């Protein structure tokens, strides 16, 4: 299985007795599961494909029902696993748009050309996406907003940011 998978969330609990699962989405605002039927459950180095029967919002989580997982005992086995989807299954974007996960691995520089580090992961906080940038001696949390992220160049692998005063001191 060589396709690129995108993690959407972590399965954190069962819900009820009929195999429903609670998913903590990495991006609570995402609507990706509304149009996707095939999902992948990943734990450690194991991966298995499943058909998504149903899903619905539940507070800040998503309740999901996988085909063939029909009771609480089968569902318990999936707690702690990540739910991912094929990158090809994600909705197409308009020119100039990108998914936040695509920023992982980009080199981050400020507008003066100072290297801050590399985007190691994204993090959802309060409905906003944050880029976690690992530098040589420090970790930076950079809000993924156009007021701060000046430019992303996937061809060169660089992200240019214009941090407000104090952001890099946190």
Q: How far is CA 108 from the centre of its chain?
A: 19
Mean pLDDT taken over the chain: 91
Alpha-carbon distance of 2 to 105, in angstroms, equals: 19
**Section 4-31 average pLDDT:** 90
**Section 100-120 average pLDDT:** 94
pLDDT at 110 over 60: yes
Task: List pLDDT tens digits, range 52-73.
Answer: 999 999 988 999 999 999 999 9
Task: List pLDDT tens digits, range 34-49.
Answer: 889 999 999 888 999 9
Q: Where are the alpha helices (DSSP H) in the chain?
A: 72-76
pLDDT at 2 over 60: no
Alpha-carbon distance of 144 to 60, in angstroms, equals: 20
pLDDT at 157 over 50: yes
Please report the pLDDT score of residue 1 as a whole number.
45
The residue among 81, 91, 103 whose CA lies nearest residue 35 is 91
Please report the pLDDT score of residue 126 as a whole number.
66
Q: How confident is the model at residue 96 (pLDDT cuts 50, 70, 90)?
A: confident
Task: Please classify residue 95 by burial: count the beta carbons closer than 10 Å to its beta carbon, then call 0-12 exposed, 13-18 middle and 19+ buried.
Answer: exposed
> Going from the N-terminus, what domains does the chain have, and what CATH number goes with each?
5-89 (2.40.30.60), 100-164 (2.30.30.240)
With contact defined as beta carbons under 8 Å apart, do 27 and 125 qualify? no
The residue among 60, 168, 65, 67 whose CA lies nearest residue 109 is 168
């Amino acid at each position: 299985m060589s396709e690129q998978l995108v993690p959407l969330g972590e399965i954190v609990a069962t819900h009820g007795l009929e195999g429903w699962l609670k998913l903590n989405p990495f991006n609570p605002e995402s609507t990706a599961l509304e149009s996707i039927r095939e999902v992948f459950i990943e734990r450690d180095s194991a991966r298995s494909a499943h058909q998504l029967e149903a899903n619905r919002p539940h507070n800040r989580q998503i309740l999901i029902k996988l085909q063939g997982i029909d009771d609480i005992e089968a569902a318990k086995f999936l707690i702690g696993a990540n739910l991912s989807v094929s990158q090809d299954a994600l909705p197409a974007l308009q020119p100039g748009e990108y998914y936040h996960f695509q920023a992982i691995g980009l080199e981050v520089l400020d507008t003066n050309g100072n290297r801050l580090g590399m985007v190691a992961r994204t993090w959802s906080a309060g409905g906003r996406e944050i880029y976690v940038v690992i530098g040589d001696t420090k970790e930076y949390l950079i809000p993924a907003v156009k007021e701060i992220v000046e430019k992303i160049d996937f061809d060169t692998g660089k992200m240019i940011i214009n941090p407000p005063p104090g952001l890099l001191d946190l």
